[in-house]
Structure 1
């Protein structure tokens, strides 16, 4: 069975795309789904967080027992330097792998355009290189930079589903709409079947009147695509950027409150996304 593949997008930076990719990938793996995150952002933030996450788990859990990941090969090596695909796959924890990125991936835009003239040939090249992954995994998440670029367009071509991240700010609202409009154009132009799995409202201030008003506006604009689960501003999620994802336990073996709340939040998001996907089957 072919992996369900998701691109996580918005044309505005800093809205939480990478955080969503990391948490959805982690929670998907915890649910027993064989999951891969492909980092297509040259900043490599998701790769860094996954390396830190690996440190936080025991070898029995698939982690590194306080050792981070050493990324000898990255997505740039695979796509531009003919490194074997398997040489750039790293286990984060059980059921979760990452194909990392770093600043070397900045050269991919020039490289692919020098080697393949047409957009469709550029997209098909990445599809061909990554083809074995679709048989290896249940779920693949594509983390892309916030731009209309060969990276983001290739990801749209590969993906079955789009998850759009929405912050309740005017610019993010506008960029989310632009992303959806471009996605509609893209699917028609390149004859893909990309569908919207859902729009995640991200990093709202629970007590902020403007955020509340913007969220109500978003419900009118995006309708049923907007998830009911809201990611409020969350110190624990912010902490994961520097610590990696954690699942700290109490002395009684229970998950500590703030980790538990963060993980349950993304479990709810996964459930809503799964439900949304069934709408297209009717």
Structure 2
């Protein structure tokens, strides 16, 4: 099952949610692969810092881009992060993927489906594959969404994020589903509260409920947590003596369990 956390607006928590949902699903016993499709490689950076905490220094070689353009099996680039959790890393060269694809003598349909075809080599080895993306609309991101079975729409409780979610869903329908018959669907809208149920938070949630349907919003929310920001510097920690680690993992575990329930698995 291939999933991406998505929104047209940046800064909505896509990468953090991808990392921590993957982490909690792996802890729950699911076999998970994270694929970093973002040229900024923030997911890769986070996971390599996590690895470094175990005194394990790993280099990105080969990168996802190198594997794709050389038509190698994606298995060749996989890095193990912890039990049940693997990473397929990106590097800055992923910036060239769209340009490279555009030059290939293949049809438009083959161009947007290139990543999907490449993922065939790893799909049977995992319960979940999470694809991390940049917030821009591009041929690279079209490849990601064409490959997905499901999307989690990230809704930071800001007006621009709500507008970004609407714009993204319209883009998805008109440019990928209608034109290329993409099979992707939305499993739910995941709110990311900026202030913890402030007046603005609640107003945005109410608008989202009206726009998308209350049943399509996750019951479990993510709140802005300093510990998640800290992970960007230190890597993911899971200290049983830390109340902040416990609270953070507990929040994402609740979302992971709701995701499993929504998917019926």
For Structure 1 versus Structure 2, the TM-score category normalised by the shorter chain is: over 0.9
Structure 2 gap segments, 5+ residues each: none
Aligned to 1:240: 231
How far the C-alpha of 1:192 sits from its partner, in A, is 2.7
- Count residues with an aligned counterpart: 263
Give the alignment of 1:255-266 within 5 angstroms.
256-266=242-252
Q: Deviations over 1:37-59 (max 9, x none)?
A: 11000000000001111233xxx
8 Å contact kept, 1:12–1:172: yes
TM-score, with length taken from structure 1: 0.88
Aligned to 1:269: 255
Do residues 18 (structure 1) and 15 (structure 2) align?
yes
Aligned to 1:68: 57
How far the C-alpha of 1:83 sits from its partner, in A, is 4.5
Do residues 184 (structure 1) and 173 (structure 2) align?
yes
Q: 1:216 aligns with which of 206, 226, 238?
A: 206
How far the C-alpha of 1:220 sits from its partner, in A, is 1.9
Alpha-carbon distance between aligned partners in 2 of 1:262 and 1:96, rounded to the nearest angstrom: 18
8 Å contact kept, 2:60–2:91: no
Aligned to 2:148: 159
Do residues 139 (structure 1) and 128 (structure 2) align?
yes
Aligned to 2:28: 31
8 Å contact kept, 2:73–2:121: no
Aligned to 1:85: 74
8 Å contact kept, 1:91–1:97: yes
Deviation above 6 Å: which 4+ runs of structure 1? Answer: none
How far the C-alpha of 1:181 sits from its partner, in A, is 1.8
8 Å contact kept, 1:116–1:122: no
Alpha-carbon distance between aligned partners in 1 of 2:5 and 2:260, rounded to the nearest angstrom: 15
Structure 1 gap segments, 5+ residues each: 57-64, 251-255
How far the C-alpha of 1:66 sits from its partner, in A, is 2.2
Alpha-carbon distance between aligned partners in 1 of 2:61 and 2:159, rounded to the nearest angstrom: 41
TM-score, with length taken from structure 2: 0.93
How far the C-alpha of 1:123 sits from its partner, in A, is 2.8
- Secondary structure of 2:103's counterpart equals helix
Alpha-carbon distance between aligned partners in 2 of 1:91 and 1:55, rounded to the nearest angstrom: 12
Aligned to 1:249: 240
Q: 1:125 to 1:213 in 2, by over 3 A?
A: closer
Which segment drifts farther, 37-46 or 116-125?
A: 116-125
Cα RMSD for the two superposed structures = 1.7
How far the C-alpha of 1:93 sits from its partner, in A, is 0.9
Alpha-carbon distance between aligned partners in 2 of 1:33 and 1:182, rounded to the nearest angstrom: 31
Q: 1:47 aligns with which of 44, 47, 55?
A: 44
Which segment drifts farther, 46-55 or 185-194?
A: 185-194
